[in-house]
Amino acid sequence: MKNFLYFIALLSGCCATAQYEIVYNLEKGKSYPQNQVVTSEQHQVINGMPQDITTIITTESDYVVTDIKDEIYYLDIVVKKMSTETKSPMGTEIISSDGPESNAMNTIFKNMIKEPIKMTMNKHGEILSFDNSAQIEGLTDDVEMPQMQLLQVEAALKKEMSIEKQTSNYEQLTTILPKDKVAIGDSWNQTITVNSIAAFEATSSFQLKEVNEESYIISSNAILKTPDDASTSLNGMKASYTLSGPSSGTYTIDKKTGWITTASLRQELEGDIIIEKSEMMPQEMKMTMKTETTTIIN
């Protein structure tokens, strides 16, 4: 009888599945680095003419925990360095925050990282507030550029740096953690906002793949598809678009802090963009596009 009960207890122990609460556990006063390299390869065919563009965006950032109140983290995102390299049939252009000031865009990038971004989030990574106003202020200080061109560049940058767009971009990395305890093999879903030609929502599925002594390994998958009858404005011209494709990724999460230590993400989009005829565009223009974007985090 004793052996039988022991066997039942052993069997129950083997069948029990370990549950893990994966949340942020950051410390006040500490800094958590996150460096990213985003490579986007864009293949376009415009009115039958092919055109390839490769863009590499590199950022080095520290997330500094300035305070913790009621399980809410107050963070300063300090961007230490940022650069963009664009390769096209016209040649290669490099813009860098530590590049020579003879390039006006280098000065703008340098201005962009003078002040930190202020952000609050809960232990699940949901962003509660986001303030990059200090980053935008003084964007064109000491920039030598024709006034009309300067205004156009400033307007384009401020559009890309809007609170809504920046919040959704950061949330794609902060809100990957599950809201409930999970076991190996369990899955959960998150709604993400994809900022491509225009912003649209998609559902990403995450799964706890592996647990070791130091890390959680999480995978993600999604099928991206723009809404029906989606449209946007490109340089003041109305454009409709149909884009779709898969997205996948693997994240290594530190067990103690919940912080991403490394990640590798891949996103593909393919489809058509049609710019409607107007006073600026006398004929309708069709653009076939395929974009492959990889993001490496360390």
**pLDDT surpasses 50 at 15:** no
Report the mean per-residue pLDDT for the chain: 89
The whole-angstrom separation of Cα 262 and Cα 296 is 8
pLDDT per residue over 250-281, tens digit each? 999 999 999 999 999 999 999 988 888 877 77
Give me the percent of the chain exceeding a pLDDT of 70.
93
Which of residues 200 and 16 earns the better pLDDT score? 200
Question: What is the pLDDT at residue 11?
Answer: 47
If we measure between CA atoms, which residue out of 98, 275, 249 comes closest to residue 289? 275
Which of residues 199 and 156 earns the better pLDDT score? 156
The whole-angstrom separation of Cα 178 and Cα 208 is 9
Question: If you search the block for the tokens 């891949």, which residue do you land on?
Answer: 266
**pLDDT surpasses 90 at 130:** yes
Q: Of 125-134, 176-185, 195-204, which gets the smallest average pLDDT?
A: 195-204
The whole-angstrom separation of Cα 175 and Cα 222 is 15
Distances (CA, A) of 150 to 131, 132, 141: 24, 20, 11
Whether 36 contacts 270, CB under 8 Å: no
How crowded is the C-beta side of 84, counted as CA atoms within 13 Å? Answer: 12
**pLDDT surpasses 90 at 176:** yes
pLDDT per residue over 22-52, tens digit each? 999 999 999 999 999 999 999 988 777 889 9
pLDDT per residue over 111-127, tens digit each? 999 999 999 999 999 99
Q: Of 97-106, 185-194, 227-236, which gets the smallest average pLDDT?
A: 227-236
**pLDDT surpasses 70 at 198:** no
Question: What is the pLDDT at residue 49?
Answer: 84
Question: What is the pLDDT at residue 48?
Answer: 78
Question: What is the pLDDT at residue 35?
Answer: 97
User: Where does residue 247 rank: exposed (0-12), middle (13-18), buried (19+ CB within 10 A)?
Assistant: buried
Which of residues 287 and 259 earns the better pLDDT score? 259
Which of residues 225 and 249 earns the better pLDDT score? 249
